A and B are shown apart, each in its own frame.
Chain A
Amino acid sequence: MTTFRRMTARRTLAISAATLGLSASFAGGLPTTTVELAPMTALDLAERIRDGESSLRVLDLRSTEAFDHGHVPTAEPAYREDALASGTPGAEDRDSNHVDSRPTEPSALAEDATIVVYAGDASEISAAMLPARVKEAHHLFFLRGGWAAWESDVMYPVLPDGASAAERADYARASDLSRYFGGTPRRGGTKLPPPSARPRGC
């Protein structure tokens, strides 16, 4: 009886898998939620911020806690748990205990605004993470490597031992920016792996 039940269960699972698998080919396309975002390196973003580019807006897609712990200078949070603190229009009319964890719309976006969004690391950013008005922006970029890249490339760049001429030139550029933003450039020691070289798990 047990063997019979096992065989019946096995057969049921196989039939279910076959049904779900074969019907997938007729299920049509998957909802497209990605938005075309051009990449921007942390150093390029740092230069634009330092140069005071007026049309630049930087949007942080991480949690409130992560944002408060540290963020790219001039960045605005996409999510705020305390609607009053975000300064969104009408927030002062809300109950002081009101908690709103939905995306807040950034203050008015100029049509020619350059929007740069970033998450915590090199994870892909999808349209679901973006406030509605940001998705319609004409000049939309993502920070390659996210906050992790800002920290490693801008705040704490490292010139490895035996660096090539090209690496020394990159370091010179990075260390200038690092000092501007209060970071600590470092010479020597092991170079940290770039944010894109994620550990490959088992």
Chain B
Amino acid sequence: MSGPLADPSTVGDVSALAIAVPIGFAFGWVLERAGLGSAPKLAGQFTLTDLTVFKVMFSALVTAMLGVFWLARFGLLDLARIYVPETHVAPQMVGGLVFGIGFFMSGLCPGTSCVAASTGRADGGAVMLGLFAGVLGAGLVVDEWRAFYEGTARGAWRLPELLHLPYGVVVAVVTTLALGGFAGAEWIEKRAR
């Protein structure tokens, strides 16, 4: 893990890991306080009766995006030091489909299953067990599927590169979509009630 500050001598590896621990605690606490440790609340996302997941996650995304952009703009953050996972279109679409089916069936995703389990919910523990079983199983057969697993690679594919737009314009577009999405989510929830 790297602390991607512009001056790398400020945060070493050990300090970066030490900072990560309270960040992890805060992440779990916020998820739990937002109610995302409850499977019915998460399942409401799919029945369009409770869009809390959408609002919480998109809020976090926009907050992080604006923070990263402006810190980089003022030279405090080095964007090149932030790891961006590589995009592999086909396997990630399949993985997303499997993830979505599992999310709907269990009412929990990997992160929220940890939150649920930590608050004593048995369904959280069950989903975590299934998660690790799935990871182990996939790891055991990954060699058979190596070509597909590493296929359709697009490298670290960012929206500005995909859309051929300046970084700041993409930030503005995403922010606008988010605010519109929040308003839309509130309207949908009101209608569901």
Contact = CB atoms under 8 A, between A and B. Distances in A.
Interface of A: 14, 17-18, 20-22, 24-31, 33-34, 62-63, 65-66, 79, 101-103, 123-129, 160, 190-191, 193, 196-198, 200-202
A17 B178 contact: yes
Contacts, number: 108
A72 to B, nearest CB: 18
Interface residues of B, number: 43
Interface string B1-18: 010001111001100000
A123 B83 contact: yes
B72 interface: yes
Given A25-B169, A79-B9, A126-B81, A31 B72 contact: yes
Interface of B: 2, 6-9, 12-13, 62-63, 66, 69-70, 72-73, 75, 78-81, 83, 85-86, 92, 109-111, 142-143, 149-150, 156, 166-169, 171-172, 174-176, 178-179, 182
29 contacts: A14-B179, A14-B182, A17-B62, A17-B175, A18-B175, A20-B66, A20-B175, A21-B66, A21-B175, A22-B175, A24-B69, A24-B70, A24-B169, A27-B70, A27-B73, A28-B73, A31-B73, A33-B79, A103-B9, A126-B81, A127-B80, A128-B6, A128-B7, A160-B143, A193-B142, A196-B86, A197-B149, A198-B83, A202-B109
